[in-house]
Amino acid sequence: MVNTVMAAVLGYGASCVSTFVLYPYRDYTKIFRVNPFTRLDPIQYALVRYKGMILNPSQPLILALPWGLLYGGFAFGSGGVTGALVAGTFHGMSKVTVRTIARRVGGPRSRYDAMVYKSFFHCLRESTMQYGIFSFFSGVSATILISTVWHGASLVALQRSRHDGFF
């Protein structure tokens, strides 16, 4: 159990650091244009994003959650195929949860997102009433499958490479 907690904490901590460091760059590349009408100063843009993450630390902390659960789930499943299944399930469910919360709590982006949520629990209650209790599972089942195959297989290969080498 200690190994599981340590793997989850290390994975979560590493993901928090990489999320904090790389997210301004990721956001800047999303809006980058070769010949823009208005030019953005990339350093100023990054500083504003860093300030936003420092003032609202829940953003990088929530974004890092799926990765901590991926590594913790792999250790919890004792590695191998079982670890890959547990890790993929934890990672897929948390990834869809984070995406759903971010989209619904982030405010309206279109006429279909007219509802504004006050808190996480308000979002959960209203979303369940609006979309149904099972609306979450259609997206999560595909994400679990992808997470298990992609990330779980990678973790199994890395675990085996310690003893057998890559080739």
Predicted model pTM: 0.71
pLDDT for 50 equals 85
Structure-model confidence comparison of residues 121 and 164, the more confident one: 121
Instruction: Tell me how far apart the alpha carbons of residues 157 and 136 are, in angstroms, rounded to a whole number.
Output: 30
Model confidence at 87, in pLDDT bands (50, 70, 90)? very high
Structure-model confidence comparison of residues 39 and 8, the more confident one: 8
Terminal-to-terminal C-alpha distance of the chain = 32
Of 2-11, 15-24, 96-105, the least confident:
96-105
SS3 sequence, the chain?
CHHHHHHHHHHHHHHHHHHHHHHHHHHHHHHCCCCCCCCCCHHHHHHHHHHHHHHCCHHHHHHHHHHHHHHHHHHHCCCHHHHHHHHHHHHHHHHHHHHHHHHHHCCCCCHHHCCCCCCHHHHHHHHHHHHCCCHHHHHHHHHHHHHHHHHHHHHHHHHHHHHHCCC
pLDDT mean over 34-51: 76
Instruction: Tell me how far apart the alpha carbons of residues 4 and 20 are, in angstroms, rounded to a whole number.
Output: 24
pLDDT mean over 140-145: 85
Structure tokens at 163: 């003893």
Instruction: Tell me how far apart the alpha carbons of residues 83 and 70 are, in angstroms, rounded to a whole number.
Output: 9
103-140 pLDDT, tens digit each: 766 655 555 556 666 777 777 777 777 666 666 666 77
pLDDT over 70, % of the chain = 77
pLDDT for 85 equals 93
Nearest to 96 by CA among 128, 57, 135: 135
62-84 pLDDT, tens digit each: 888 898 999 999 989 988 889 99
Q: Chain-wide mean pLDDT for the chain? A: 79
pLDDT for 36 equals 63
